Structure 1
Amino acid sequence: MESGTGDTRLFVQLVVMMLLEFAVFGSWFATVSLVLATHGLPTIIGTAFSLAALAAIVSPMVFGAIGDRFMASQKALGLAHLLGGVTMLFLPFAVRSGAGGLVLALVFVYMLFFQPTLGLTNAIAFRHLGANQRRFPYVRVFGTVGWVIAGQLVGWMGLSASTNLFYVTAAFSFLLGLFSFTLPATPPPAKGVRFSWGDLVGAKAFRLLRRRNYAVLMVCALLVAVSLGVYNTYASTYLGALGFTNVAGLMSVGQASEVAFIVTIPFVLRRVGMKWALFAGMCMWAVRCVLLIEAAGHGSWLAVGAIAVQGVCQDFFLVLGAMYVGEVAPVELAVQAQSMLILMVSGFGQFIGATISGQIYDATVGAHQNGPLSDWTAVWVFPVFSAVIAAVVWGVFSRHHRTPQNAPAEA
């Protein structure tokens, strides 16, 4: 990075990019299940989130390869958001008309465009921060701020359960799409490199599974992501059933807690270490779902508590998980090792969570129109067990030792 004015300008550009990226995501993803349930499409909620997770698995093959080899990253980011914005414009009509199949197709297509942008924004930021990599958390935290702003805006406008929600997302998408073309030039990092299908799915990182700690982390990440998938799929619908109206604004409290808890990570690591900090994050996912179960019979305020602990659930799972992978993965496999973690969490884990919880929902809550809140217990018990198993596996089988970054993969 250049010093002085250029340094400041670049930092501001990266901050705005990250803020808009998660404003796009947070403006619709947090309450889309409530929108579907309100407009007579509750039975496709699980499938919609399963398709979103599936897009996280296949999208690198659809769009990621283009950004890696044939198009500058900032242009790929802009194009993806412009196409995503156009796709969003068709969703209000599809939902209002009750065309479930069309809604699912549009959600899948949109997520094919959106999922690669999460990696593109990180890549652009790291590329231009250069030697100032330690500034990245200060850039990334504005992504959480963007999610909070979008959630509060949607809630204030009264759109938590409205199809007009998608127009807000489209507006944010077009804004970021156009802004992306003003970002510093970021040439394709793999231009001219021989194409490999294995690189797209991080095949070289599979050798890391020979390492006990990495393999255990991947198993636990998959199990915890199942709980995450259930929460993302049905939290907003459940809050609506509990009687909350400003669901989008309420759920943004969770992102606000992420900002608060992320600053505690260095202190926690010094006091308890990486292993037990990750263990706490896994356990908190079980606690969160228990609070949601208890909210049905002992006061909806417990649901607010479940949302407020998101900082521990996310920061002490996703952020620490990425840091842990950075410790155990050698430099030459660092990118693919992180990609595998994302694949386990945003792809397979959330796909399993959304799919199974969708089946449970259809057999319980969805089968009884205006049924008792106790019907929701079956939906939330499933992720409790998934998180508990993850915590037990991690506590028993992980043997945390710091690994030099340049250690050979076949240690």
Structure 2
Amino acid sequence: MNIKLRLVAMNFLQFFIWGSWLISLGGYMIVTLKFTGVEVGSIFATMGIASLFMPAVMGIISDRFVNAEKVLGISHIVGGLLLFTASGIKDYPSLYIIMLFNSMAYMPTIALANTVSYNALEKSGLDIMKSFPPIRVWGTIGFICAMWMVDFMGATKSPVQLYIAGGSAILLGLYSFTMPKRPPLKPGDARSFATTLGLDAFILFRSKKMAVFFIFSMFLGAALQVTNLFGGSFLDDFKGRFPDSFGVQHPNLLLSISQISETLFILTIPFFLQKFGIKKVMLFSIVAWVFRFGLFGIGDPDKGLFLLVLSMIIYGMAFDFFNISGSLFVEKEADIKMRASAQGLFMLMTNGLGAFFGGILSGWVVDFFTSPNGIRNWQNIWFTFAGYALVLAIAFPLIFKYKHDRNAVRGPVAH
């Protein structure tokens, strides 16, 4: 089979697994298992904990000891078995432990899948920079397809979503063993734990500009998963007022507009970076988060459905203009000798520390605005998150000092 098609299948399944539960698990835990906001937030925060060290650990194992495709396969099989186990658990402490181990198994596979893909393309004599992006887009398509499948099966509030995720994880685990071999690197080529994790890039904090950038990256990272955590339960709480509305009947379909928007906004990044520079593009992202949360606060699945749809569309700008543009900025500003470490540091600040604190703090906010009889004041909840983003939007341009040079941007963006 054509190697590109094989990689499309691998990337499709890679994110199909995640899409099966990431958007709907929060609703399942709140509505069906009756978990508190803090409990839900802490379970999602396990992804942040795992992102702090597991990608580095698995990266070193694949660089030094075991073929990358085998590490990828084993990780997915272990993750799949853990998801099957999670489907039968109803209490918070046990589910927390299982999902923590699942995060430790799954989060490293995102980077490992890239490594396996790059290796396969290189062995086939293909240009990685030209060939991989169209392949990677199928990962987002897989994520959306999983959301739709869970929705149409009526599994957004049931453990069936975990069976779907677990089955697809084991399938991908077995499939990974058939990918082109990527053996361990030569001793001199393998990166250290500190380099893989990005710790040696902490020298960048000596620059005030980079220090401010990384700190705001952590603050923004806290916002990335908030609507993923609570979007499903938010829509479900309208079932008493609008039981037949589209958003209540098909929450995952409505929420999937966010991922569709994300794929479209990726294409606009080179233009915006070239014209406005990283400072304004990051500011656009922060302001987009204000509208993302604010529109959730005033929208509803009935007459306010257009406001929710607008929020989903804005998500593409909020997510991409921060995540991808930030990565490009790090690539441009870091010394060539530590670019890999700098990217590791960026991921640590956003998907590690940011995701961890975001999961915990958002859970506290939800519980604070939940009455003793379990009724949640979603407008206050979303306005609190919008206020948080607004504070960042005001502070960022005042603190982050950066002068845009259009000529300097052309190289990295084109690359």
Fold in common (TM above 0.5): yes
**TM-aligned CA deviation for residue 146 of structure 1:** 0.9
**TM-aligned CA deviation for residue 296 of structure 1:** 5.6
Say if 2:60 and 2:190, in contact at 8 Å, map to a contact too. no
Deviations along 1:108-140, whole A, 9 cap, x unmatched?
010000010111112223344444323332122
Correspondence for 1:307: 312
The alignment of Structure 1 onto Structure 2 pairs a total of residues equal to 393
Say if 1:322 and 1:341, in contact at 8 Å, map to a contact too. yes
In structure 2, the CA distance between the partners of 1:217 and 1:78, relative to structure 1 (3 Å rule), is same
Say if 1:291 and 1:303, in contact at 8 Å, map to a contact too. yes
Correspondence for 1:115: 107
**TM-aligned CA deviation for residue 401 of structure 1:** 5.1
Letter in 2 for 1:160: T
In structure 2, the CA distance between the partners of 1:362 and 1:337, relative to structure 1 (3 Å rule), is same
Is the aligned partner of 1:247 residue 2:251?
A: yes
Deviations along 1:289-343, whole A, 9 cap, x unmatched?
1111112697344223222222111111111111111111122111111111111
Deviations along 1:324-370, whole A, 9 cap, x unmatched?
111111221111111111111111111111111112222322x4335
Matches of 1:126 and 1:400, distance apart in 2: 34
Say if 1:82 and 1:173, in contact at 8 Å, map to a contact too. yes
Q: Percent identity?
A: 28
Helix, strand or coil for the counterpart of 1:398?
coil
Matches of 1:190 and 1:206, distance apart in 2: 26
Is the aligned partner of 1:287 residue 2:287?
A: no
In structure 2, the CA distance between the partners of 1:370 and 1:115, relative to structure 1 (3 Å rule), is same
Equivalent of 2:26 in 33, 36, 44: 33
How do 1:254-265 residues align onto structure 2 when only pairs under 5 Å count?
254-265=258-269
Letter in 1 for 2:269: I
Name which of structure 1's ranges 322-331 and 21-30 shifts more when overlaid on structure 2. 322-331
Say if 2:81 and 2:166, in contact at 8 Å, map to a contact too. yes
Say if 1:223 and 1:389, in contact at 8 Å, map to a contact too. no
In structure 2, the CA distance between the partners of 1:51 and 1:132, relative to structure 1 (3 Å rule), is closer
Matches of 1:272 and 1:363, distance apart in 2: 39
Matches of 2:103 and 2:355, distance apart in 1: 14
**TM-aligned CA deviation for residue 45 of structure 1:** 0.7
Is the aligned partner of 1:124 residue 2:127?
A: no
Helix, strand or coil for the counterpart of 1:66?
helix
Name which of structure 1's ranges 337-346 and 225-234 shifts more when overlaid on structure 2. 225-234
Matches of 1:190 and 1:35, distance apart in 2: 46
**TM-aligned CA deviation for residue 81 of structure 1:** 0.3
**TM-aligned CA deviation for residue 197 of structure 1:** 4.3
Correspondence for 1:5: none
Deviations along 1:228-274, whole A, 9 cap, x unmatched?
23223212211222331322222211111112222222232333233
**TM-aligned CA deviation for residue 190 of structure 1:** 6.2
Please report the RMSD computed on the Cα atoms of aligned residues, expressed in angstroms: 2.5
Matches of 1:329 and 1:127, distance apart in 2: 25
Deviations along 1:180-212, whole A, 9 cap, x unmatched?
111111122465768844234321111122233
Letter in 2 for 1:313: A
Letter in 1 for 2:107: Q
In structure 2, the CA distance between the partners of 1:219 and 1:202, relative to structure 1 (3 Å rule), is same
The answer for unaligned runs of 5 or more in structure 1 is 1-7, 407-411
Say if 1:124 and 1:186, in contact at 8 Å, map to a contact too. yes
Say if 1:63 and 1:112, in contact at 8 Å, map to a contact too. no
Letter in 2 for 1:101: P
How do 1:128-207 residues align onto structure 2 when only pairs under 5 Å count?
128-130=120-122, 131-189=127-185, 191=187, 196-207=192-203
**TM-aligned CA deviation for residue 170 of structure 1:** 0.8
